[in-house]
Structure 1
Amino acid sequence: MKENRMMTIKQLKTQAEWEQIHALSSYAFDVNHNEIQKENFFKLCSIAKNFGDVLNGTLTSSLMLIPFDVSLFGKFIKMGGIGNVASYPEHRGQGNIRHLFNKVFSEMKNDQILVSYLAPFSQPFYRKFGYERLFIEQELTVPSEVLKFVEVRDGYKVERIKEDNREARKERLALYNCTLGRKHGNNQRSLTWYECCQTRADNHHLAVVRDEQDQLVGYLDYKFDKEDVIISEMIYETTAALKMLLNFLTSHRSSFKNFIFGSLEDTSFLEYFDDTRVSKIYQTNGMMARIVSMSSFLEQLPIKKTIDGEVYLKVTEDVCAWNQGIIHWSFQDGVSKVTWVEAESQVATIPHYEASIGRWTQVLLGGMSLEKALNLGFVSCTHEDDFLGTVLLKGQPFLKDHF
């Protein structure tokens, strides 16, 4: 029986309220944090906007909105990461989460956050809020017999870090942000976020590569799991640094059966080895995403240099009313302009393309090509010309972190 009461959605800003969020998350996700993990949970609360549904002073549902900068074809834009979406079981199915998302979408629009990512427990559930599959995760398993030592340059050195500290973390963070953090779709890391991520890893080891000037040019984050070496991060700025890291791993091959690389953006380093037939790449669907404001997103979207032209895009949207309608997207002298069409009668022809906000997210961010979306029927088209296809940049987005 549903509870008959008004929803009370509020932003949770105090330590006492964060304690309630932690208790709810611990129950909903069946986790038992140690003191360090609990401290980092509160650090995460401090950099996030936290929203909850409160009944008689008790938190019933909550979610976190974590701000990030992400790369959009080389241009950084604001992204809102959604995490810790949870409700106590007696309050589920009452619309609490929908009301929380409505509030958060308005917050993101007001804060000029253009896109949002989340890790789904259920893809159909989050499609109701406009999210769609965007990221593909790759895990690479390399048997130890595949590895071999490769030729490296003099002057570079690799060493394990026995005692980590904040200055060392800042150094690794800077390297990450200027390398993998610039990949299309991926997020820049703040120091607080990076430290929270690091404490999630149990029994992990670190190794770094330095060049002739003692500058950090690469690092490994890894751990041992019985017969396997699990590499969670392999970051490098130069080819020489990559080779040093591979040789460091190869030096472990007599003690372990497999080397497992998680969340890889690029597997081309396998070309250094002679016979890789027994290596396996495992792909899964990763995080989902959605565009928060279609018009604002198109204004910021990098495009190819193109001839002058125009296209009408229709957006269907069940959650964010400001996205529902027809957009006129025009291009002149390499500059794009975005305007909303007030009524369909003002359009000389019917919209050139039509799709849901989720499918537009896939196409515009590169998770699915326009051609494939048309072939599968996710985008409908009334014109035979491929003007939109000549405008859009291509590239599969990559995301390393989860939240």
Structure 2
Amino acid sequence: MITYQIVQSNDYKKVLKLKNYCFRPAYEGKRLEDFMHWVNVSTIQGAFDQEELVSQLIILPLQMTVFGVPYDMGGIGFVSTYPEYRNAGIMKQVLLRSLETMRERGQLLSVLSPFSVSFYRHFGWELFFDKVQYELPAQQLVPSGKTIGNIHRIDELNPDFDHWFSKIKTFYNEQIAIQNGRLIREDDWWQRLLRRTSGTSFAVYTDELGKVMGYIRYTIQNLTLELLDFNAINYESQQNLWQFIQSHTAEVEKIIGEASNQESFGTAFLNPQFQQQIVQDKMIRIIDVERFLYSYPFEKIDDPLYLNVQDKQAEWNNQIFKIEQEGQVTIVKTPKNEEMLTMDIGKLSALMVGYHSLDYYVFRKEASGSDKTINQWSNALPKGYPSFYDYF
């Protein structure tokens, strides 16, 4: 008989064993250290066949921004089931229980990287970020002119590493505080990035007064420079960082990295015709609609808004919500004379983080309401595309 429960610390060796079977090769060294750290601070939803842990998922306690507002978020990772227990509905039950667990812990959003988009759509997650993976021949980079300011190159062996690393973290936090759909990186997440990627270097761009204006995090291996982070405060900062990258043409043959599809990446290059691939590998779900709406930064509400949410997996969301000018959110019965926006939980989740405009979902018949209702909601929703690059 299969039983479902939160995995306790005395079973963490079973968590590692199941992970190693489903995600190979087995972790060792710093990656193993990092995995066990997150096992210890996360919630692990599990399924047991007597004493054996046969299915699991790890809910990482994280935060992300939605139009500058921080939300507690459950990052779903290491979804694992032994092959002899697959296709028996066990992971379905684990996922359903994870929704309840995240709600109890106040994690109002959940993000994951799907092995199957259709599978997770069934449980209410939806795609919310399109990124471009690019491979740029180093010789196609053309210097943009004289560098203004200074570039500081550091790695973990640099005696000033802690000083610059602190500045990088501060800069990142200041930038994402005004951005949308970004992971809030606490100190243990920054340590995770260092533990999971050996040979990491940073290049920090500062203006003439010493203020950090941007940075990149990168590695160089096998004649390839891989950009792991690229954050800049303005176009000039971007160009100076690209100038630094271009200076590596003697050491590397290509540069690889990721960018938001909304950025039209590479169009400013002299020759923008290089290999690019659009990847959709992030899905999001609102766990608790009422509490999510309460903190949501609506732009303009002249008259109360009504939202009819359809959620087959989380009955607490299957409600009609009234949002008033003061930001008050209440659950109401079917209003007699009021018009509602009706959406299922997955499409609503993507809409609320800015993946597409409301008109997009109306056109695809994934949102319904009168013209007046659609116009009211369109005016109330903030605008801005999400950019979520981190992995669990």
Instruction: Tell me what 1:336 maps to.
Output: 327
What's the counterpart of residue 363 of structure 2? 375
Q: What's 1:324 paired with?
A: 318
Report the counterpart of residue 246 of structure 2 in structure 1. Answer: 250
Tell me which amino acid in the other structure corresponds to 2:330: T
Distance 2:165 2:58 in 1: 25
- 1:287 aligns with 282
Give the 3 Å change call, closer, same or farther, for CA 54–240 of structure 1 in structure 2.
Answer: same
SS in 2 for 1:30: coil
Q: Does the 8 Å CA contact 1:161/1:208 hold for their aligned counterparts?
A: no
1:144, 1:253 within 8 Å by CA — same for their partners in 2? yes
Partner of 2:294: 299
- Among candidates 127, 134, 138, match of residue 133 of structure 1: 127
Aligned to 2:215, the other structure's residue is in SS state strand
Change (3 A) 1:239 1:366: closer
1:402 corresponds to which residue?
Answer: 391
Q: State the alpha-carbon separation in 1 of the partners of residues 199 and 361 from structure 2.
A: 43
Corresponding residue number in structure 2 for 1:363? 351
CA distance in 2, matches of 1:153, 1:247: 7
Alignment partner, residue 236 of structure 1: 232
Output the CA distance in 1 between the equivalents of 2:320 and 2:119.
26
Contact 1:119 1:402 in 2 (8 A): yes
Q: Percent identity?
A: 23
Q: Out of 28-37 and 204-213, give the one that drifted further.
A: 204-213
Matched, 1:115 2:103: no
Q: Is the 8 A contact 1:140 1:264 kept in 2?
A: no
Which has the larger displacement, 117-126 or 141-150? 141-150
- Distance change >3 Å, CA 19–CA 391, structure 1 → 2: same
Structure 2 stretches lacking a partner, 5+ long: none
Q: What is the aligned partner in structure 2 of residue 161 from structure 1?
A: 155
The answer as to whether partners of 2:130 and 2:261 remain within 8 angstroms in 1 is: no
1:389 aligns with 2:385: no
Range with bigger deviation, 284-293 or 27-36: 27-36
**Aligned-partner Cα distance in 1 for 2:261–2:184:** 15
Query: Are the equivalent residues in 2 in contact too, given 1:350–1:382 (CA < 8 A)?
Result: no
- Mapped partners of 1:194, 1:277: distance in 2: 32
Give the partner amino acid of 2:121.
Answer: R
Distance 2:264 2:85 in 1: 49
Instruction: Return the offset for 1:110.
Output: 2.3
Amino acid at match of 2:280: N
2:282 counterpart letter in structure 1:
M
Q: Which moved more, 1:114-123 or 1:222-231?
A: 222-231
Q: Is the 8 A contact 1:232 1:263 kept in 2?
A: no
- Partner of residue 38 from structure 1, selected from 16, 32, 36: 32
CA contact (8 A) 2:300 2:381 kept: no
Of 176, 179, 196, which residue of structure 1 is paired with 2:172? 176
Deviation at 1:259, TM superposition (A): 2.1
- Tell me, yes or no, if the aligned pair for 2:205 and 2:237 is still in contact at 8 Å: yes
Contact 2:155 2:200 in 1 (8 A): no
Residue 63 of structure 1 aligns with which residue? 57
Task: Report the secondary structure of 1:8's partner residue.
Answer: strand
Q: How far apart in 1 are the matches of 2:378 and 2:206?
A: 44
Distance 1:42 1:166, change over 3 A: farther
- TM superposition score normalised by structure 1: 0.87
Conserved? CA contact 1:142–1:258, under 8 Å: yes
Q: What does the per-residue CA deviation read over 1:154-201, in whole Å, with 9 as the maximum and x for residues that have no partner? A: 552433436166665444333222224652011111221222233322
Give the partner amino acid of 2:390: D
Counterpart residue type for residue 399 of structure 1: F
Q: Give 3-state SS (helix, strand or coil) of 2:324's partner.
A: strand
CA shift digits 1:297-324 (9 cap, x unpaired)? 1111111134x21232211111111011
| Structure 1 residue identity aligned to 2:376 | F
1:101 counterpart SS class: helix
- 1:262 has 2:262 as partner: no
Change (3 A) 1:166 1:99: farther
Partner letter of residue 190 of structure 1? Answer: E
Aligned AA for 2:56? S
Counterpart check, 1:89 vs 2:77: no
Asked if structure 2 preserves the Cα contact closer than 8 Å seen for 1:181 and 1:189, the reply is: no
1:49 corresponding residue in structure 2: 43
Question: Of 97, 114, 137, which residue of structure 2 is paired with 1:103?
Answer: 97
2:2 touches 2:50 (CA, 8 Å); kept in 1? Answer: no
Q: Secondary structure at the match of 2:184?
A: coil
Note the C-alpha offset of 1:401: 0.1
CA RMSD between the two structures: 2.6
In 1, distance between residues paired with 2:45 and 2:143? 52
Contact 2:285 2:346 in 1 (8 A): yes
The 2-side partners of 1:102 and 1:369 are apart by 29
Q: How many residues were matched structurally? A: 389
Shift in CA distance, 239/375, structure 1 to aligned 2, threshold 3 Å: closer
Where in structure 2 are the equivalents of 1:157-236 lying within 5 Å? 157-161=151-155, 163=157, 169-180=165-176, 182-212=178-208, 216-236=212-232
Cα contact 2:60–2:77 (8 A) shared by 1: yes
Write the distance in 1 (CA, Å) between the matches of 2:327 and 2:368: 23
Q: By how many angstroms is 1:263 displaced?
A: 3.8
In 2 relative to 1, CA 208–387 (structure 1 residues): closer, same or farther, beyond 3 Å? closer
Q: Distance in 1 between matches of 2:371 and 2:268?
A: 47
8 Å contact 2:151–2:203 — kept in the other structure?
no
Q: 1:361 to 1:302 in 2, by over 3 A?
A: same
Once the two structures are TM-superposed, the CA of residue 128 in structure 1 deviates from its matched residue by 1.9
